[in-house]
Amino acid sequence: MHPHSTNGIDKWVCVCPAATRPSNLADSLIYVSYGYNDNGLSTRGTSLGLGGQNVWLGGPDGTSPPVKDSDVRNPGQLRLIGDGFKGGRGGIVDGLSALRRDDTAQDNVGSTVRAQTRHNQKANIVFCDGHVEAPTLKYLFEDNSDAALAGWNRDSQPHSDLLPPQ
């Protein structure tokens, strides 16, 4: 079954049992459980995640040059796939096919509370080396330490300069 099919998305194998579609979400919107670290910490310019070398400068077919295994400096540190959250100091948005730190994220019809209650204020994350961790949402989306920030980026650098001023 295609994951974006409107008939049976709740029965698809890649649905987290703890992620329930909010009843007040518009029927026209797709709600998914898991997301991909496509952009890394960058929300503009060259992608630092796994979505392609220049995700905003895609070729004629909408693709961008792929990220090679050798481009990932520390596979045990880089977040690959996890709960479909985009979050920052302003809140967390759930139901996305992206896993991203974005300090412009704002709560969407109770999404911050849903994210916090899904896994006891944690997120399930698969790293590029295949291991799994459940870091806190606070660590993922609010912590500005080098270790917390570097985990978003394939070059294993924190890129704190990309954060908005506090």
Sorted by where each begins, the domain ranges of the chain are 29-157
b/e code 97-123 from CB counts within 10 Å (16+ = b): ebbbbbbebebbeebbebbbebbeebb
Decide: residue 4, CB within 10 A, 0-12 exposed, 13-18 middle, 19+ buried: exposed
89-115 pLDDT, tens digit each: 889 999 999 999 998 899 988 999 999
- Give backbone dihedrals phi and psi of 160, rounded to 5 degrees, phi first: -60, -20
Residue pair 137/121 in contact by the 8 Å Cβ criterion: yes
21-54 pLDDT, tens digit each: 888 888 888 889 999 998 898 766 668 999 877 6
Query: What is the model's pTM?
Result: 0.86
Residues 6+ apart with CB under 8 A from 110: 22, 24
